[in-house]
Structure 1
Amino acid sequence: MRRSERKRERPDLGILSGRTLFSLQKELFTRLSEMGHAQVRPRHGAVLAYLDAEGSRASDLAAQSGQHKQVIGTLVDELVALGYVERRPDPADRRAKLVVPTELGLDHMEKSDAVLVEMEAEHARAVGEEAYAEFKRVFQLVAERQTGVR
């Protein structure tokens, strides 16, 4: 059996994760575009998915997303230019900066959360509530083990 056939019939964790991520991003960002957020791209998720409403430090965003701090800096620059976030002094440490969502950024974050809840509900209906809950539990354990992040 050729490798490509084997991977198609018995995909490994990398292939399954990649397929899931890319398909999820495509649907999520298509729906968000229809809701008025056409300028945001999947790469911006490294910031917006982890951003706290009251703001986050870029170093924390980098650690949570697994991206380099320089990548996060570039993404924050893009999101500032698009009007989704702004940089503000961190009240806890005036030398540090917080990345804070604007009203537009908060709208995107709220809509993104709502779309993901809908998508998960659709999956749960398709495979069964218990099966989906068990899948998420096990997938979280695998992700934690793989990344060392709990």
Structure 2
Amino acid sequence: MPRNPYSAADTGQLADTRLEPDSRLGALARRLAAIVTDRVQDDLAGVGITDLRPAHLRIFAALGHGDGARVTEIAERLGSTKQTVGPLVDELVARGYLHRRRDPADARAKIVDFTPGGTTAAEAARRSAENIDRQWADRIGDRRLDECRATLWELVNEPADSTGGS
């Protein structure tokens, strides 16, 4: 199967990182995210989509299945800035995955949305991620996967400084 040229493992970013069962949760979460990203990119490469970087996939996820969004809304959803997200959106527009249209609520603003090709790529990425979840459920069981998801959700929705730690 073709490899995506943007694989974190292939660039050596994670290959030398040694993790143990008692490694910090942040390190384990980063590794897990990289595994998912690499597998999604491998699946996309398998259907001929090799020009998407991990940051592009985050833009896809932030757009979701709605009616599009302004760049500022995408940035907010990602916890990022317009200055960071804007160039990524420009790349995706240039590659034919996204397009811009006037915002009916404000003619000065633009809404970013998927093109048909972008919808195809986003759906392929979503299916890949769902397959990964199913494989993990098969490995550790639905109950443990649900508990893991619920625990991670609880952690990401409580700021670290509010837990009383320093």
TM-score (norm: length of structure 2): 0.80
Letter in 2 for 1:25: T
Query: Could you tell me how far 1:45 is from its partner in structure 2?
Result: 1.9
When you count helix as a share of all residues, which structure comes out higher?
A: 1
**Pairing 1:1-150 to 2, within 5 Å after superposition:** 8-53=20-65, 54-146=67-159
Query: Could you tell me how far 1:35 is from its partner in structure 2?
Result: 1.5
Structure 1 unmatched runs, 5+:
none
Indicate conservation of the 8 Å contact 1:89/1:97, yes or no: yes
After superposition, give the CA deviation of every residue in 1:80-116 in whole Å (9 maximum; x if it has no partner).
Answer: 1110001111112211111111001000111111111
Q: Distance in 2 between matches of 1:106 and 1:41?
A: 16
Structure 2 unmatched runs, 5+:
1-16, 161-166
Percent identity over the alignment? 30
Kindly report the root-mean-square deviation, in angstroms, between the aligned alpha carbons of the 2 structures: 1.7
The number of residue pairs the alignment matches comes to 143
Q: Distance in 1 between matches of 2:148 and 2:69?
A: 30
Indicate conservation of the 8 Å contact 1:57/1:99, yes or no: yes
